[in-house]
Chain A
Amino acid sequence: MMKRNLLCLTTSLAVMVSALGASAQTLAEIEAAAKAEGMLSTIALPHDWCGYGEVIAGFKAKYPEITVNELNPDAGSADELEAVKANKDNKGPQAPDVLDVGLAFGPQAKAEGLTQAYKVATWDEIPAEVKDADGHWYADYYGVMSFIVNTDMVENVPQDWADLLKPEYAGMVALAGDPRASNQAILGVLAAGMSTGAAPGDAAGKAGLEFFKALNDAGNFVPVIGKAGTLAQGTTPIIIMWDYNALAARDTLAGNPPVEVVVPKSGVLAGVYVQAISAYSPQPNAAKLWMEYLYSDEGQLGWLKGYCHPARFNAMAAAGKIPQELLDALPPAEAYEAAYFPTLEEVDANKAAVTGGWDAVVGANVAE
């Protein structure tokens, strides 16, 4: 018990010291300390998500002394917070160092004491509305909600949310995550709600739940997590996912089967994700080095290659740092102009409505 108290004390002292010294450490010092730590544990970073596969490979190539330990790539945002909580006292390889969660989960993590403050060198180029003033969480990239459709199995590609309710799509529509834990799924519900005309936030959240209830009752909804694999295998021919994931899936499948990525006509929702360092990170310096890498030009362009708009997009575009081919490969800008960026309060209210109400309102279950 004494040992545990001592450990807690030293850990919190270390956290305090590192927080104090956050601005005082130079990149060289961070690099040296990170190499001494030798390992970085990431969580919930699928390789096809925003080009993370290449981003991680780039980090490994730049710092070969640091092993990247990738935990549970399929975790949702809520699962990431749970992993930090579950490994509070664990300094081993199961404890994640860094988090990449939906916007609504950033303040939640800070409130629960799961994050530590750190401001990257390029801090000022991150827009103010999507970062925590103290540096506990900060936006990394964004995209818009879209449909990906397996055109081998679907003849008429749905163009809007209302189309999904048509009987020809029986047993075809799926979300890309568990709507009780995955930010992607939760915001999918929000987008559906907004397409019915409800105001973003709590109202659209509830409207979205009603939409999915109707979808489930019509027999169109498949309560399985939709991925590139299930799309091609035919179990979920229509998936509601971020456009960057949809485009990456299209690339992976390479035409077999052919897919179409559709941004719906109404209910166009932009979603922001945020980065954070775990308060209980076993390798805090490696975590800081990772953040510096992600927010450097190299890291941001890596995300851009994965079809995501990185946080520093506007600043970098203005400075001419983005190659034209990458800009051309991105989804068309018109979709982004029509997209709605929900505020922090709106995503918060939506998250509460969806995670709390999904089981009760929709109650979709495989074992029926």
Chain B
Amino acid sequence: MAKGPIRRDARRLPLEWLGILPFAVFAFLFLILPTLRIVTGAFQDQAGGFTLQNLMDLNTASIRAAYWTSIKLSLYSASLGCLIGFAMAAAVVFGGLPKRVRSPLLTFSGVASNFAGVPLAFAFIATLGPAGLITVWLRTDFGINLRAMGFNLLSFQGLVITYLFFQIPLMILIITPALDGLKREWREAAEVLGATGLQYWRMVALPILFPSILGTFALLFANAFGAVATAFALTGPQLNIVPIKLFAQIRGDVLGNPNLGFALAFGMIVMTVVANTVYIVLRVRSERWLK
């Protein structure tokens, strides 16, 4: 692989691209090709010809319900995650809390945002499930019966609450640098001009932060939309959301039409690509202010 001394010669440029050949081959085989296969498969019928039928077939009651539930789940967990994450990040950056709080919070957020999946479901069942720590404690010490009040962990609300465990930390991790970027000079300038704290937030800080917040909301949305392990472990394979439907379809053709799996996966790709594009565009926008 020895190529001799570096020569800034235009003629050598084609050879230099060989350096990223392994990476390109890997990316092609294991990232780009599978995605392309799904996109093309969504538009192919059994014989291999072009068809829009697969996408049309998505319009059954069960699949529509699955998409709607997935979207609702992602919207709820993303909005709540944004709100609570923002509140916590703001508390740490502006709230006048001791400096020592910040680093552990960020470290913990790093861990918690990766603690999704099967163990997370167990943790919540052990805490908020019918025989869980909090449920039993509330019932025996306070006489509050969560089930009688209509709360059930194995439900939509329960799933949202569980998803928040990795959504909130993700929000904290991303929004804290943005909050750091709010220069103190702006606050002081606003005070000099006579603005109250609330006015400062409403007219200066939030408009600047808005692209970041919206972008992170989109990221959280995509994150929740693609998550399957947590839901699978919590509510089992019967929950009607898109990733679990796709999971069942991959395991065995439960929908009775092998090409429908491609259409489902394609739908998921469209959702996550759109959401992530929104995030990236908004992040680039917001970085202008926060350089």
A368 and B130: CB pair below 8 A?
A: no
Contacts of B252 in A (CB 8 A): 75, 78-79, 81-83, 85-86
User: Within the complex, which residue of A81, A153, A171 is in contact with B152, where a contact is CB–CB below 8 Å?
Assistant: A171
Mostly helix, strand, loop or mixed at chain A's interface?
loop
Give residues in B with beta carbon < 8 Å to A. Answer: 62, 65, 69, 73, 125-126, 129-132, 147, 152-156, 159, 235-241, 251-254
Q: Give the Cβ gap from B85 to chain A, nearest Cβ, in Å.
A: 24
A233 and B125: CB pair below 8 A?
A: yes
Mostly helix, strand, loop or mixed at chain B's interface?
loop
User: Within the complex, which residue of B129, B155, B237 is in contact with A367, where a contact is CB–CB below 8 Å?
Assistant: B155
Q: Give the Cβ gap from A96 to chain B, nearest Cβ, in Å.
A: 11
B156 and A366: CB pair below 8 A?
A: yes
User: Within the complex, which residue of B129, B155, B156 is in contact with A234, where a contact is CB–CB below 8 Å?
Assistant: B129
Q: Give the Cβ gap from B91 to chain A, nearest Cβ, in Å.
A: 33
B131 and A366: CB pair below 8 A?
A: no
Q: Give the Cβ gap from B286 to chain A, nearest Cβ, in Å.
A: 34
- The list of the 10 closest CB pairs from A to B, nearest first, reads A82-B252, A234-B131, A234-B130, A367-B69, A367-B156, A225-B236, A366-B235, A366-B239, A79-B252, A224-B236
**What's the Cα separation between A365 and B236 when bound, in Å?**
11
- A347-368 vs B, Cβ < 8 Å mask (1 yes, 0 no): 0000000000001000001111
**What's the Cα separation between A180 and B235 when bound, in Å?**
17
Q: Give the Cβ gap from B274 to chain A, nearest Cβ, in Å.
A: 23
**What's the Cα separation between A237 and B153 when bound, in Å?**
14
Residue of A nearest to B258 (CB): A86
Q: Give the Cβ gap from B93 to chain A, nearest Cβ, in Å.
A: 36
Q: Give the Cβ gap from A178 to chain B, nearest Cβ, in Å.
A: 6
B156 and A225: CB pair below 8 A?
A: no
B131 and A368: CB pair below 8 A?
A: no
Could you tell me how many residues of chain A have their Cβ less than 8 Å away from some Cβ of chain B? 31
B125 and A171: CB pair below 8 A?
A: no
A223 and B238: CB pair below 8 A?
A: yes
Within 8 A of B (CB), among A281-334: none
Residue of B nearest to A359 (CB): B62
User: Within the complex, which residue of A83, A224, A232 is in contact with B154, where a contact is CB–CB below 8 Å?
Assistant: A224
Residue of A nearest to B65 (CB): A365
In this complex, which of B125, B132, B156, B238 has the most chain A Cβ atoms within 10 angstroms of its Cβ? B238
Contacts of B253 in A (CB 8 A): 82, 85-86
A235: Cβ under 8 A from any B Cβ:
yes
Residue of A nearest to B126 (CB): A233
Contacts of A72 in B (CB 8 A): 251
In this complex, which of A79, A232, A233, A235 has the most chain B Cβ atoms within 10 angstroms of its Cβ? A235
A224 and B129: CB pair below 8 A?
A: no
Contacts of B126 in A (CB 8 A): 233
A222: Cβ under 8 A from any B Cβ:
yes
B152 and A82: CB pair below 8 A?
A: no
- A121-137 vs B, Cβ < 8 Å mask (1 yes, 0 no): 00000000000000000
B240 and A366: CB pair below 8 A?
A: yes
In this complex, which of A78, A83, A233 has the most chain B Cβ atoms within 10 angstroms of its Cβ? A233
A335: Cβ under 8 A from any B Cβ:
no
User: Within the complex, which residue of A78, A171, A224 is in contact with B235, where a contact is CB–CB below 8 Å?
Assistant: A224
Task: Jot down 23 A-B pairs with beta carbons below 8 A, ordered by A.
Answer: A72-B251, A75-B252, A78-B254, A79-B251, A82-B254, A85-B252, A86-B251, A86-B252, A86-B253, A171-B130, A180-B254, A224-B238, A225-B236, A233-B125, A234-B129, A234-B131, A234-B132, A235-B129, A235-B130, A365-B240, A366-B239, A367-B69, A367-B240
